[in-house]
Amino acid sequence: MNQENRIPMTPVWGHEDNSRIPYWAYTQEEVYKKELEKFFYEKHWCYVGLEAEIPEPGDFKRTAIGERSVIMVRGEEGEIYVVENRCAHRGMRFCREKHGKTKSFTCPYHQWNYTLEGELQGVPFRRGVKQDGQVRGGMPKDFKPSEHGLNKLRVAERGGVVFASFDHEIESLEDFLGPTILKYFDRMFNGRKLKILGYNKQRIPGNWKLMQENIKDPYHAGLLHTWFVTFGLWRADNRSELRMDDHFRHAAMVSTRGDGSKNADTTNISSFKESMKLHDPSFLDIEDEDWWGGPTAVMMTLFPNLVLQQNVNSVTTRHIQPTGIDSFDFVWTHFGFDDDTPEMTERRLRQANLFGPAGFVSADDGEVIEFSHEGIEQNDREQALAVLGGRTVEEADHMVSEACIRGMYDYWRKVMGV
């Protein structure tokens, strides 16, 4: 490789606006390290789980923020704590169960014991051993357990959804989301108790931002996904809106489904299958719910690590957990609401066949992300094009726009300083 073709040590954006995204943003190890620091470990509320996953005192769930393992746990008084899964002694990732119930946390290595809140409460042989009438060893006299607790995260909870931040200097969750996104958040989590239906997990070999982009990209949804197009669930001619917060870091794609009929627009869509009929129509046995207030689908991306899905009766959180620059785990938590009838629960479970790693309209999202990453790695001096609907960042009342992707990179550049 000659000198000019090298990627500069400090990558430059190289384009006047955000309608081009340089591929080094997905391939440079230093960029990824900095993203983890700036987005996952500083100044951002990251999703950790749902309150309903840990209903009782002592219930815990192990999860991740960025590449760091954390534990979400319910304390004796019902309050929620999030602590880092790293022993304060010599660093062991002590919690190995994915979930469970406990009175305290003990690191097996030297059996340091912590309260649910993360305070160090037990250190074996702290005062040494008595031998021949003498005390030998032990911790120094000035050792203060209070200074050696687990790393405690700040916690914010709203509507049953739990977020945490390593950074204690952080705006409120409400300010972080901003009023526009908060409105859609509260629509989905309006105070009703949630009922956990279970998990789907997939490991996707691609850069984590590609998933954020995928859910900020209404363009593909009405083209790639035959099911959406054919049954009118998500289509360019549906009534729809693209909404963002003031920083353009979060977004909501809002859509109201049409009748799925053939018209002038479907002739543009090769994936529209006029003759497609279901042998078992119960896949699409949809019942309108009051809380929708109109839209039949709202897909929210909360930066950096969460997607919130309502698509007809299927509701999920999707948790992005990067495992390197070219791979992330995508953890879906399907839920319903406590007042759901058994029929509604069945309906949500049946419609779940549309989503997740095998979903009629989601399996291919994982595939296209994998192959996008492959193409990007092929030559990271090139750049992606995002000019659909303009070159600036603006909300829209249609879905033929890549404005939310431009918006995300507008914010990304500010924080990354590029």
Partner 1 sequence: MNAENYLKLVQFYQDYAAAVDQEDWDAWLNMFTDDAKYKVQSRENYDRDLPMAVLNMYSKNMLKDRVYGMTETIFHEPYHQCHVVASPRVISASGGEIEAQANYSVFRTKTDGIAEVYNVGRYIDRIQVTDQGFKLASRLCVFDNEMVLNSMIYPI
Residues that bind partner 1 (CB under 8 A): 98-99, 196-205, 224, 226-227, 230, 271, 273, 276, 278-280, 282-283, 329, 334, 345, 349-350, 352-353, 356-358, 360, 363-364, 366-368, 370-371
Q: Phi first, then psi: what are they for 188, rounded to 5°?
A: -80, -40
CB of 127 to ligand FES, least distance (A): 17
CB of 357 to partner 1, least distance (A): 4
Residue 43 binding result from partner 1, Fe ion, ligand FES, none, given CB thresholds of 5 to 8 Å by partner type: none
CB 160 within 8 A of CB 193: yes
**Which one of 98, 103, 110, 193 is in contact with ligand FES (CB under 6 A)?**
110
**Stretch near ligand FES under the rule CB under 6 A, chosen from 19-27, 40-48, 104-112, 328-336:** 104-112
Q: Phi first, then psi: what are they for 169, rounded to 5°?
A: -90, 90
**For residue 65, what are the CA distances in angstroms to 82, 84, 206?**
11, 9, 18
CB of 306 to ligand FES, least distance (A): 31
From CA 212, how far away is CA 250, in angstroms rounded? Answer: 9
Nearest alpha carbon to residue 23 among 414, 409, 384, 328:
384
Residue 116 binding result from ligand FES, partner 1, Fe ion, none, given CB thresholds of 5 to 8 Å by partner type: none
Kindly state whether residue 127 participates in binding ligand FES, applying the rule CB under 6 A. Answer: no
CB of 44 to partner 1, least distance (A): 25
Kindly state whether residue 93 participates in binding ligand FES, applying the rule CB under 6 A. Answer: no
CB 234 within 8 A of CB 255: yes
Nearest alpha carbon to residue 63 among 193, 191, 153, 175:
153
Kindly state whether residue 213 participates in binding Fe ion, applying the rule CB under 5 A. Answer: no
| Partners of 243 in beta bridges | 252
Kindly state whether residue 371 participates in binding ligand FES, applying the rule CB under 6 A. Answer: no
DSSP output for 357-409:
TT-TTTHHHHHHHHHHHHHHHH-TTSEEE--TT-SS---BSSS---HHHHHHH
* x/- map, 51-90, ligand FES, by CB under 6 A: ------------------------------------x-xx
How many helices and strands in the chain, by DSSP H and E? 9, 21
CB 47 within 8 A of CB 305: yes
Q: Cβ of 160: how many Cβ atoms within 10 Å?
A: 19
CB 244 within 8 A of CB 215: no
Q: Which is nearer to Fe ion, 53 or 365 (CB)?
A: 365
Residue 273 binding result from ligand FES, partner 1, Fe ion, none, given CB thresholds of 5 to 8 Å by partner type: partner 1
Kindly state whether residue 365 participates in binding Fe ion, applying the rule CB under 5 A. Answer: yes
Q: Which is nearer to partner 1, 230 or 255 (CB)?
A: 230
CB of 374 to partner 1, least distance (A): 10
Using the structure block, give the residue that is written with the tokens 């954020």.
212
CB of 362 to partner 1, least distance (A): 8
Residue 349 binding result from ligand FES, Fe ion, partner 1, none, given CB thresholds of 5 to 8 Å by partner type: partner 1
